[in-house]
Amino acid sequence: MRRRRFLASVGGLAAAGSIAFGSGAFTSVEAERNVSIAVAADAYAFLRMHPIPDEGIDGEDTRRSFTTGGEVEFELPGTGDGENQNAEGVGLDSVYEFHDLVTISNQGTQPVTLQSTYDGNNLDDLALVNDDGVLRDNPPELNVGEGIDVGLYVDTHGSSLGEFDETLTIVAERVGGNQD
């Protein structure tokens, strides 16, 4: 009987020790959770983008910025009646700034900085610009509810003639960075 009691005591101590000193580590976990995400048009997103009508010839809109399918797009030259129909595009080895094409507003819950990145090959540079310069090295801060009018900075040095469909990435990052 003592032997059984001894074995039971040793077994109980071993079990208690594994509970007390076990790591609880795991190699992998797979867990499914429901996620509800609403995808909104640019005009209603957390980072709101709204085209600014650009007056051209006779006060008509140039349509250098417009909305298609809920997304803001840019086109140079514009397709509106206000654009000079003799202009076929920007020139080679040049730098252009087209200001006030879109208003970008912070409809989120915390202040953000605003900048853009370009990874294309057809232009030397493409970026957001405002009256203070290219939004890159010293990006402006947008508090909740604030907006800023921006346009496009286009550098064609080293480009060739042609029509290019480029992608400009607009980046809003929480002030102080994403440290969570």
Residue ranges of the domains in the chain? 42-174
| CATH number belonging to domain 42-174 | 2.60.40
Residue 2: the pLDDT is: 56
Q: Write the CA distances from 92 to 49, 79, 157, integer angstroms.
A: 29, 21, 6
The amino acid at residue 35 is V
Bridge-based pairing of strands 125-130 and 133-134 is antiparallel
Residue 16: the pLDDT is: 52
pTM, rounded to two decimals = 0.79
Q: Is the dihedral of CA 161, 67, 70, 144 positive or negative?
A: positive
Asked if residue 150 lies in contact with residue 128, where contact means CB atoms within 8 angstroms, the answer is: yes
pLDDT tens, position by position, for the chain (180 residues)? 555 554 445 455 455 555 555 566 778 888 888 888 888 999 999 999 999 998 899 999 999 999 999 999 999 999 899 999 999 999 999 999 999 999 999 999 999 999 999 999 999 999 999 999 999 888 999 999 999 999 999 999 999 999 999 999 999 999 987 665
Q: Look at residues 118, 146, 151 and name the one whose alpha carbon lies nearest to residue 133.
A: 151
27 is written with which tokens? 């190699």
Give residue 1's Cα distance to chain centre. Answer: 73
